[in-house]
Amino acid sequence: MSDLPGIVVTGVSGRMGRMLAQIVAESGKARLVAGVERPGHAWIGQDIGVAMGGAPLGALVTDDPVEAFARAQGVIDFTAPAATVEFAGLAAQARAVHVIGTTGLEEADLEKIGAAARHAVIVRAGNMSLGVNLLTRLTRKIAEALDEDWDIEVVEAHHRMKVDAPSGTALMLGEAAAAGRGVSLKDARVSGRDGITGVRERGTIGFSAIRGGDIVGEHDVIFAADGERVILRHVATDRAVFARGALRAALWGQGRKPGQYDMIDVLGL
């Protein structure tokens, strides 16, 4: 068996799970150990590659995360909030680096993930791409430079199957803008305007979500003042950018001190 870190991909039949399995298997930097899916899923017991309709990848799909995590040094998890909270506890028990891409996590979920991070390395980000993480830096810098005469709006667009809004990325960008402005996003956030909303409240940060077709992920941060606008934009056209970032995070986390990290730490931005 090689010395390369073993990686389990949870939610392996999903849009991100398939991409991750392929990228880990082809990376030459890690071993694909197993894929995890929900009990009763049609892929359980099959080789991941065969289940995807291609060549065997030499790793099976299982519904037993405890057994799979025990054979791994990293768990890459793009699933759903309830699953991610459970996997955080199990990955910590196995002392595997847990890379969390799942979005839509609530405050209570984050507390449980925080508890797991006392025992193991967790890297969590609403977007694992280099471009978006760079954009959070730029957003913060611009928000620092501009006063409240500049209204801040975050607009995001995703495929029709996305279940949470605003996107995790939109919230990251909103947090960056709020930090730049020295306010809390909890206080400044306005989402989903509809009906007679009244005029825009000065200093708020607005969020709008578009859902349609197969859009991979697009985000604009708009700074709008009287007479001029600054628009920062990121467009993802291939989920591979998220998967590559997640694998990089799983490798970066090996041998680190337990705790919670994000992609800014991983990328050194």
Ligand X SMILES: NC(=O)C1=CN([C@@H]2O[C@H](COP(=O)(O)OP(=O)(O)OC[C@H]3O[C@@H](n4cnc5c(N)ncnc54)[C@H](O)[C@@H]3O)[C@@H](O)[C@H]2O)C=CC1
Give the catalytic positions in this structure: 158, 162
- CB contact at 8 A, 249 and 263: yes
| Near ligand LZUJQKHR by CB under 6 A: residue from 73, 136, 139, 167 | 167
Distance (Å, whole) CA 14 – CA 221: 28
- Type and span of the H or E element at 85: helix 81-93
**261 near ligand X, rule: CB under 6 A:** no
**217 near ligand LZUJQKHR, rule: CB under 6 A:** yes
- Cβ closest to ligand LZUJQKHR, residue 35 vs residue 168: 168
**102 near ligand X, rule: CB under 6 A:** yes
Q: Three-state DSSP class for 172?
A: helix
Give Cβ neighbours of residue 29 (< 8 Å, ≥ 6 apart). 4, 5, 247, 251
Distance (Å, whole) CA 157 – CA 155: 7
Site for ligand LZUJQKHR in 8-67 (CB under 6 A): none
Partner whose binding site includes residue 158, from ligand X, ligand LZUJQKHR, none (CB under 5 to 8 Å by kind): ligand LZUJQKHR
Count CB neighbours of 70 within 10 A.
Answer: 15
Phi and psi torsions of 240, nearest 5°: -60, -30
**133 near ligand LZUJQKHR, rule: CB under 6 A:** no
Site string for ligand X, 108-127 (x = CB under 6 A): -----------------xxx
Burial of 42 (0-12, 13-18, 19+ CB in 10 A): exposed
Distance (Å, whole) CA 168 – CA 242: 13
31 strand-pairing partners: 6
Partner whose binding site includes residue 253, from ligand LZUJQKHR, ligand X, none (CB under 5 to 8 Å by kind): none
Q: Which residues bind ligand LZUJQKHR (CB under 6 A)?
A: 103, 126-127, 158, 162, 167-169, 217
Q: Which residues are annotated as a binding site for NAD(+)?
A: 11-16, 37, 101-103, 125-128
Q: Which residues bind ligand X (CB under 6 A)?
A: 10-11, 13-17, 36-38, 78-80, 83, 101-104, 125-128, 168, 242
Q: Which residues are annotated as a binding site?
A: 11-16, 37-38, 101-103, 125-128, 159, 168-169
